Amino acid sequence: MRVIQHTGESERHAVVALVLDPKVLAAVAPHWTSRCFASKWANIVGSWAVDYWNKYRQAPGSQGLLAIYTAWAEGEDGPIRQIIGDWLNQLPGESGLNSDYAIDRIREIAQENAMRGLGVALTGLIDQGRTEEAKNVLATFKAPQIAQDASGVFPLQDAAIIDEAFHSASQRPLIEYPGALGEFFGPVLAQDAFVAFLAPEKTGKTTVLLDLAWRGVCQGKRVAFISCGDMSQSQIISRLIPRVCKAPIRGGLVNIPTELTFADKEARVTWEQRTTRPVDLADAKKAFAEAGGDNPDRFRLLTYPAGTVTAQDISSMANRWADDGWTPEVIVIDYADILELPKGHKEPREGINANWEELRALSTRMRCLVVTATQSDTEGYNTWLLSKKNFSDCKKKIAHVTAMIGLNMTEEERRQQVCRYNYVALREAEFMASRPAFVVTAGCTKVGRCSMISTWPT
């Protein structure tokens, strides 16, 4: 496990959030001190932003900060003036950090700096033989509690709390699907959600996860796809090439579903046959470049050998990305069952529970959608619709997810590339109350699309 060091770059991103994001300023201002950051220039700019907020209840933004800097710089000289001036010239139009993550990061930075200062003070006093004073300093030390007010909030008098709840409830899903499958997913694939697909071995879990990830990319979201050992990097790219190029690498006949009905436990699919030519290297490079458009870094791919990365490792990576200005909106993990167990957990069930608990925490801390898959028990091969009884290894998985979705297919449906999706577990399930227990999809894996059309059963 590589230890990730947070450098001054994370302070730079934190200061950007303070200057541009009113939600961050509102949370930080009541607890701000001029020593929150390690660097002098960051503390100066942070103090300007907090003073602006206290006076006007707005974030200063780039123009407001430029006016403050211009007035301050008239009586200032030296390297700090140059550092802040250079930083202002590179200030982006908006913060790249999720608001809640930025608040958490500023709190962590402030606490780290406060503890470093405490260590220096204690060492100095002990070296001078002033042990009792050192004990008093230690006893009275309180780490900065930015955005961790133990007094709570007052919803009956603070209308902003209600505004935020309404805004959160009315947001569209991060990833949307067309047709009946889109109705089935409803608001489930949203910010803060942790979703898992449950299926027997070799029933297309990776295909479903890649399909979801690529839809997110095409819909403009920042997506991280993490393979934990099921496939190599080249294998994943080979799976994506048909999707991006809309043709199998070797070309040939493909069957595209055009009509789908489902009645009496039987799917009826109408296909259109198409002949495609092989995809050459130039075609693939061009297609991927065009898919990137003006934001080619919105898709991040990571691959690891099985059993070499934990959920905590993934959380640490996401923190590092955010510190570098790339906050993921969707994190897809293929798949959670083959994550390494956290250190110190000798009992496998405890380790699995710890990994799933961490993935849930990741979704709420980063305010992102986390999606993974898990393998069902052996009974899942012969079950018409998967249920909570079909978990494997640790039943606490179901407690951590906001939704667990079963992928169901008979051998005949597998041949037809038909799959039935059902909810094994679902929080806030009102939108499904009047709908059938499952939805049916048909696709064409040769072109990397497992759900091209969908329907409700009749």
Identify the DSSP state of 390.
G
Q: Which residue, among 206, 268, 182, 203, has the nearest Cα to 409 in the 3D structure?
A: 203
CB 297 within 8 A of CB 221: no
Each residue's pLDDT tens digit, 391-445: 887 788 899 999 999 999 999 999 999 999 999 999 888 888 889 999 999 999 9
pLDDT at 6 over 80: no
User: What's the rounded Cα separation, in Å, for the pair 300 and 284?
Assistant: 18
Provide, for the chain, the percentages of residues in helix, strand and coil under a 3-state DSSP scheme, each rounded to the nearest 5.
Answer: 50, 15, 35
Residue 342 phi, psi dihedral angles, 5° rounding: -60, 150
What is the average pLDDT value for the chain, to the nearest integer? Answer: 88
Q: How many residues does the chain have?
A: 458
Amino acid at 208: V
pLDDT in tens, 229-271: 778 899 999 999 999 999 999 999 999 999 999 999 999 999 9
Q: Is the pLDDT of residue 153 over 70?
A: no
What does the longest C-alpha to C-alpha distance in the chain come to? 87
- The whole-angstrom separation of Cα 140 and Cα 118 is 11
Give dist(CA 237, CA 244) in Å, integer: 10
For the entire predicted model, the pTM comes to 0.74
- pLDDT tens for 22-49 read 888 888 888 888 888 888 888 899 999 9
Is the pLDDT at 447 greater than 90, yes or no? yes
Name the helix (H) or strand (E) containing 383: none
Neighbour-count burial for 276-296, b at 16+ CB within 10 Å, e otherwise: beebeeebbeebbeebeeeee
